[in-house]
Amino acid sequence: MNRSDAVDGPAPYADEPAAAASRAAAPDVPDPTASYATERRVAADRVHLRRAIALALHSPLPDPNPRVGAVLVAPDGTVVGEGWHHGAGTPHAEIEALRAAGHAARGVTAYVSLEPCNHTGRTGPCAVALAEAGVARVVFAQPDPNPTAAGGGDTLRAAGVEVSGGLLADEAEAVNRVWTRAVRLGRPYVTWKVAATLDGRTAAADATSQWITSAAARADVHRLRAACDAILVGTGTALADDPRLTVRDVDGRLTGRQPLRVVLGDRPVPATAQLHSAEAETLFVPGHRPATALSQLHRAGIRHAWLEGGATLAAAFLRDGLVDEIVVYLAPTLLGAGRPMVGDLGIGTLADAIHLDLVDITPVGPDVRLILAPAGRKE
């Protein structure tokens, strides 16, 4: 039995030598022992990979880097090290686990929720670190979609490490759903949030809009804002509403890490505006091209942009196909007139309408939160 099979425990049959001799005489007869051992090995792989995926949930959100967990398991099935990534610039999950294991890392199987990285950034390549530590086998769930960091599996194989990838990939990818799509697209994942009346108005005819939705809905918005890297509005919203664009508690106090505030447009924002406060950093992006703004944000490490601009900016993103998710808070209120949810989309006939898939519907206080995505979109 080799080291990677040892995790499966002792052979399941007492007469293994006799069975092996019989199979040698009749090579076409299936080997039930091998099949059973493979099943047990895969079952063990699933258990340890799920632990790695669970550890990945401890990684910070938001962050430019993916959330990753790692588990090191000795040939006798003992877990000798665990770790997860604590954020950009800190050791990766594999390094954390190797440090926890120390000399016990030699000969282990490493279970990682994402393919070990293969590049040198703020830290060195994890694939090389695993090989140098004497790890015998690496099992990872999600292949790395980042072309800059991918290829760790090949590097490990070249170093003589047994590698298996793709098991529980969907479960691991769900932990990094937004990051994965952002990396594949080469731009931030964009969530458009809008609060409106039942007839689709975001403000009354006299421009009053506070508050269309309830305190419960507003608290929910702050909870979701906290998971984003940036909050984006246009100069129209900045001038009309003088927003803070921060994450706050029910008493209006700042909580946790603040997203980057981003203002798109050419009109100057007065120095007295709240967007110039020290509560959070603000980036002013000139022009009116959503793709240009997103490209700049992606280069700055922004992976999830929370779009809170008005109808005109929302329409610009939708026209360019740059909205990945829509979060709508609907109040049980009718206005009959006022600002619409979205501006002109350039659609002249029903056949050209933008269709959406309903992902989730949840009551929030007296309001309803809808989460939607462009119809038929694949992550």
Q: By three-state DSSP, how is residue 336 classified? A: coil
125 vs 144: CA distance, rounded Å: 13
Q: By three-state DSSP, how is residue 332 classified? A: coil
Q: How far is CA 206 from CA 211, 270, 328, in A?
A: 14, 23, 22
Q: How far is CA 338 from CA 157, 208, 345, in A?
A: 63, 9, 18
Q: Which residues are catalytic?
A: 94
Peptide bond into 211 cis (omega under 30): yes
Q: By three-state DSSP, how is residue 120 classified? A: coil
Closest CA to 66 of 153, 175, 187: 175
Residue 241: CA count within 13 A, CB half-sphere: 20
Query: Which residue pairs, CB below 8 angstroms and at least 24 apart, start in 97-105?
Result: 97/70, 97/71, 97/72, 98/72, 98/129, 98/130, 98/133, 100/72, 101/72, 104/72, 104/74, 104/80, 105/72, 105/80, 105/81, 105/133, 105/134, 105/135
Query: Which residue pairs, CB below 8 angstroms and at least 24 apart, start in 54-59?
Result: 55/82, 55/83, 55/84, 55/93, 55/113, 56/84, 56/85, 56/93, 56/113, 56/114, 56/172, 56/175, 56/176, 57/175, 58/84, 59/84, 59/85, 59/86, 59/87, 59/93
Measured in degrees and rounded to the nearest 5, phi and psi for residue 79 equal -80, 120
